[in-house]
Amino acid sequence: MIGATYHHLLFQYRFSPRVPVRIRAIQTHYDSFIVSLRAGITEELVFRFLLMTAFFYILKRVFFPLVAQGFNAARWIPFLFSLLLSSLLFGFVHGAYGFMIAFLAGLILGIVYFRAGLESAILAHFVADLVFFNMTYF
């Protein structure tokens, strides 16, 4: 779903100079497979495993005293803010054209990461990119 939405919104920009050269140079299904796999692994490791987990850990330690005092709404604050911060950074990295869809994809992938783990987030990211690249560049 993410890949098809991304294709629909960004099809006209596929050969823009703002698109990285490694993506504009996709010519075969093998190229799209490698670019998708590389992006899925590296971006999920950086944005979900490192950043989102670090934000969650820090915010959980900050809001722990509120939870201990009985303010139960503070249980959700670390999760929500870590999800939003990592998704915002994910969107900024994808540039002006891809910010909104990357932000929304970051929210979805962050929820997948928290519920199902890193491997599932990597797989979801890989499949979304593979669908997008195959629909857009072939």
Q: Is the pLDDT of residue 36 over 90?
A: yes
Which domain covers residue 128, as residue numbers?
1-8+67-138
Q: Does residue 91 belong to any structural domain of this protein?
A: yes
Beta-carbon contacts of residue 137 (< 8 Å; ≥ 6 apart): 14, 26, 27, 32
Confidence label for 119 from pLDDT (cuts 50, 70 and 90): very high
Q: Does residue 50 belong to any structural domain of this protein?
A: no
Give per-residue pLDDT as tens, 58-90.
Answer: 999 998 888 778 887 778 889 999 999 999 999
Q: Of 7, 6, 1, 25, which is closest to residue 15 (Cα–Cα)?
A: 25
Q: Does residue 3 belong to any structural domain of this protein?
A: yes
pLDDT of residue 9: 66
**What's this model's pTM, rounded to 2 decimal places?**
0.84
Q: For 75, which DSSP code?
A: G
